[in-house]
A and B are shown apart, each in its own frame.
Chain A
Amino acid sequence: MTNFGNGSSLTVADKYYSQYGLRARELKGSGKKIIGYLSVLGPIEILTAAGVVPFRLKGNVSEAITKGDAYMETIICPFVRNVFDAAIKGKFDFLEGMVLPHQCDSIDRTDDVWANNLQLPYWHYLNVPHVTDDPSIEFMKDILRLLIRSLEKLTGKKITDDDIAQAVKAHNENRQLMRDLYVLRKSNPPMISGTEMMKVLVAAMSLPVDESSALIKSVTEEVKARPMPANGKVPRIMLIGDQIDDVAIIDAIEGAGAHLVMDDLSIGSKMYWTDVDATPDPIQGIAERYLRKLKIPTTFVGDGNTYQENLEARFGHMKQFIKEFKVDGAILFIYKYCDPYGFDVPAMKSFIESGGTPVLYLEDEYSTSTLARVKTRIEAFLEMIA
């Protein structure tokens, strides 16, 4: 087990959460190349195989956008604008380059704004398709190969199939370890709070895969060893959304007397629930995982025979989470101007409600400036389901 120095592994997670990028900066100092990426579609296995450190970018919900708006209009996703603002202010000056995967229009159509203004030595736009049929899998494999070629040029080192297979193994193990930690949320009360969990998730996405795995493993051991919290009869909540990467909203939920016990977030269960299959051509498994296994609104096209079957295929896993984690209510938190999630909201909401679980739908900024209003809605929702 990695030694986390004097201090518990939860303290280490807290440190990497509150000083985001701390470890990446250290690694850069020791000669590593750090490659930033946005979204759950960032192909981390390939970055790891290339010998660079994948670093998922996040913004800061407590910081107002002061420079970014000169380059991006306010109709663009507030999350993307906030991260870009941080980047343009030099918060990620340790980056060697970035990989920008096409998740939504706010990412796709701002690619040149990022590239031209950040002027990093390495830049790669990954044109992830939006449909999941067989030709799209072939296309996905081709664009992953283009990424491999460009990374080989950056590092001057060939990326072999074996390198990729090793990286896939390491990331699968990493995802399994995170799922093991999630199991500790099933008890009532959960053994790990939603706030602690958020810090672990954020810390994990800022570390090289081996360090991330060591941290998650150590957190799991630490949490298992501490005394069980007193049995509380409070509502158990699941949070659904894309990149929610701050404890502010979770503090609002848990501070109002509920436990956050599960998520369907792009830095949480979406990221960790599905593995890459070890296929003879390792690229095949990666393409299938990102295009077909990941349940995100932008790459999911229903191929069921009925509308109901499509809903089941798109959101069925959420009903499964609700059952397994004994969820009493779901909070659907969507950023303003997020059309991919916006399109999904009515169907997703009614699908979850049809199983008897109440849903609170919130649409807001990537900012704590509106937290008071959000808190009132959360409190009213908890009073409603009590």
Chain B
Amino acid sequence: MSPYFAGIDIGSTMTKVVIMDDEIVASIIGPTGPEHRKLANKVIEEALIKAALSFEDLAYIVATGYGRINVPFADRQVTEITCHAKGIHHLLPKVKTIVDIGGQDSKGIKISNGKVTGFVMNDKCAAGTGRFLEIIADSLGVPLVKLGEISLTADKAAEISSTCTVFAEHEVINKLSGGESVANLVAGIHESVATRVYALVNKLKIEPEVAITGGGAKNIGLVKALEHKFGFPIVVPPEPLITGALGAALVGKEVYEKYASEGLVPTRSGHGLEEARLFS
């Protein structure tokens, strides 16, 4: 039996788990709550059930994302930059630039031969992140998941000049009372996020192919706005939320195989699921 590896990606908004051997066996996506440790247990248990495996079947576990230090049973912590690059390179080997739009940050990653050669992350500001879209969706009374679809019905994108989330929200509300359609406003907001993200990632000198990951990739309107800025198509992986977790699992696999090639077994964290519960 080939060994199994787990990657767990605790993002600011969503927690993702991937279990794999040579390919993905199971994956889970759930919201991140304030209690990372309890959730880390819960999602990995769910993923194990889905994969019909037990915790002991996992040969190595890697945690990533901003909550990566809160996974007691993880054998190693690796940043989301490295993990997204690994995950995307595995799925789409031709990709040279990754755009990741998450809940609280957006970033650009350059890869060459599967290795990170440069990266940029947004400042401590919600502009250009999922949170920005969430706030605007809320003030327009539109569900977040519908934003993409709605923006496609726009006849033109409304001009949103503020990049600051709070000011943009005011601007949207003002334009709404001035008679602008919701669809046009949503399209305008996508345009605004795309401008911001493009300026950020372009510091890396964008090279095709470009892939998009994170929650932002699930918004067709935003992807289209980005494609317009970039000037070429952007590849969306089958499940853009799990590439970080997949990359984490792949890092674990590499570590395990490196040791195995020398007839060794890597050191484990020593924490099991039961022990982890005591912390929560």
- Report which A residues bind B (CB closer than 8 A): 363, 370, 372-373, 376-377, 379-380, 383-384
Contacts of A379 in B (CB 8 A): 79
Contacts of B118 in A (CB 8 A): 384
Tell me, yes or no, whether B205 is within 8 Å of chain A by CB.
no
- Least distance between B53 CB and chain A CB atoms (Å): 28
**Chain A contact residues: over half helix, strand or loop, or mixed?**
helix
Do the beta carbons of A383 and B66 come within 8 Å of each other?
no
Tell me, yes or no, whether B119 is within 8 Å of chain A by CB.
yes
Do the beta carbons of B117 and A384 come within 8 Å of each other?
yes
Tell me, yes or no, whether B157 is within 8 Å of chain A by CB.
no
Tell me, yes or no, whether B121 is within 8 Å of chain A by CB.
yes
| Shortest Cβ distance from B117 into A: residue | A384
Q: Which of B82, B117, B121, B124 contacts A383 (CB 8 A)?
A: B82
Q: Which of B66, B81, B82 contacts A372 (CB 8 A)?
A: B66
Contacts of B81 in A (CB 8 A): 376, 380, 383-384
Do the beta carbons of B66 and A377 come within 8 Å of each other?
no
Q: Which of B80, B82, B124 contacts A384 (CB 8 A)?
A: B82
Contacts of A384 in B (CB 8 A): 81-82, 115-119
Do the beta carbons of B66 and A376 come within 8 Å of each other?
yes
| Shortest Cβ distance from A376 into B: residue | B79
In the complex, which range does the number of interface residues on chain B fall in? 10 to 19
10 contacts between A and B (CB under 8 A): A363-B123, A373-B124, A376-B66, A377-B119, A377-B121, A380-B79, A383-B81, A384-B81, A384-B116, A384-B119
Do the beta carbons of B119 and A380 come within 8 Å of each other?
yes
Contacts of A376 in B (CB 8 A): 66, 79-81, 121
Report the Cα distance A383→B62, complex, angstroms: 14
Report the Cα distance A363→B122, complex, angstroms: 11
Report the Cα distance A380→B121, complex, angstroms: 11
Contacts of A383 in B (CB 8 A): 78-79, 81-82, 116
| Shortest Cβ distance from B115 into A: residue | A384
Report the Cα distance A377→B79, complex, angstroms: 8
Q: A370-B124, A373-B121 are in contact. Are A380 and B66 (CB under 8 A)?
A: no
Give chain B interface residues in 81-106, CB to chain A under 8 Å. Answer: 81-82
- Most chain-A Cβ atoms within 10 A of its Cβ — which of B78, B79, B80, B118? B79
- Least distance between A342 CB and chain B CB atoms (Å): 14
Give chain B interface residues in 122-144, CB to chain A under 8 Å. Answer: 123-124
Contacts of A377 in B (CB 8 A): 119, 121
- Least distance between B221 CB and chain A CB atoms (Å): 28
- Least distance between A58 CB and chain B CB atoms (Å): 24
Contacts of B119 in A (CB 8 A): 377, 380, 384
